Amino acid sequence: MLNINVSKIDQVALIEVQGRIDSTTALEFGQALAATIDDGERNIVLDLANVDYMSSAGLREIVSALKKVKRASGDLRIAQPSTRVSEVLEMAGLDTILQIFPNQTDAVSSY
């Protein structure tokens, strides 16, 4: 099960995800990211506080969305990833490519 909530705070699109991002849910996750960019959002915060499991299928969707939004001169920033999600991001070297913030407020106000 995956719950995805998209909201707007000032000029920032906040995507809050809850659940597991694995082979069966990654597509839904990727579609939500792509739809947000397609809607014209350029300042995106992805809050992963309530994601305790993310496989490479989820990572693929994040990289894909990041490329897409960067091409449109926007950015995607991560808020409060769990320890296990952070580990996956670090193994793939995304911690040096993505801006990662310890909480949602800092991530939103970084724009």
Partner 1 sequence: MSSERRLRIPATLESIKEAVQFVIEAAQDAGLSDDSIYHCELSLDEILNNIIEHGYALDKDGQVIDIICQLHDDRLVIIVEDDAPPFNPLTMPDPNPEEELEKRAIGGWGVYFVKQYMNQVSYTYTPNKRNRFVMEKRR
Nearer to partner 1, 9 or 68 (CB): 68
Q: Which helix (H) or strand (E) holds 26?
A: helix 26-38
Residue closer to partner 1 by CB (options 18, 104) is 18
Rounded to an integer, what distance in angstroms lies between the CA atom of residue 7 and that of residue 34? 15
| Site for partner 1 contains 72 (CB under 8 A) | no
The residue from 19, 22, 104, 106 that contacts partner 1 (CB under 8 A) is 22
Kindly report the number of other CB atoms within 10 A of residue 23's CB atom.
11
- Which range binds partner 1 by CB under 8 A, 8-16, 35-43, 84-92, 100-108? 84-92
User: Where do the DSSP E strands lie in 22-105?
Assistant: 43-54, 75-79, 100-101
Least distance to partner 1, CB of residue 98, Å = 9
How far is residue 46's CA from residue 75's CA, in Å, rounded to a whole number? 11
Question: Which of 67, 72, 102, 105 lies at the binding interface for partner 1 (CB under 8 A)?
Answer: 67
Among 6, 34, 49, 63, binds partner 1 (CB under 8 A): 63
Contact 86, 62 (CB under 8 A): no
